[in-house]
Amino acid sequence: MIVAVMIVVFVLDLATKYYVQYNTALRDVVIIPDFFHITYVKNTGMAWSLLSGQQLFLSMVAAVAIGVMTYYLYEKKPAKPVAIALAMMIGGAAGNLFDRLALGYVRDFLDFYIFGYNFPVFNIADSALCIGVFILFICSLREKNDNAEVDR
């Protein structure tokens, strides 16, 4: 199941990027006015275009992160929620790494305006990474609370 999560995230990410990239009618579409647009952009950096143009560095960081998460997943055999979170993060990091290596940039297209703020454009891989981090955060809070109760 864990490998399936990685593959689904990776394939869904690449498929949606490909679809938006090659469907010119989707390059700049308003889905919900003042809230959600599809805006195709080529991102040579990371979030908020930080480290723009540093493809080699960002690729190396992603490859190392994928390696560390994969090692932890298979050697430590964490609880199922943690394993799913790591699988989502590995799939997402692999999707963006594929773009960096194959294209020299990451394809982003999900464009939200939240309370008047134009949030940075992102993709499915970024979403999977953020959801995975959120799940890990919740799991660590629960573990901390469980440990605190045992100490009482």
Question: Which positions are annotated as active-site residues?
Answer: 108, 126
Query: For residue 134, how far is the Cα from the chain centroid?
Result: 11
Q: Is the dihedral of CA 79, 85, 88, 93 positive or negative?
A: negative
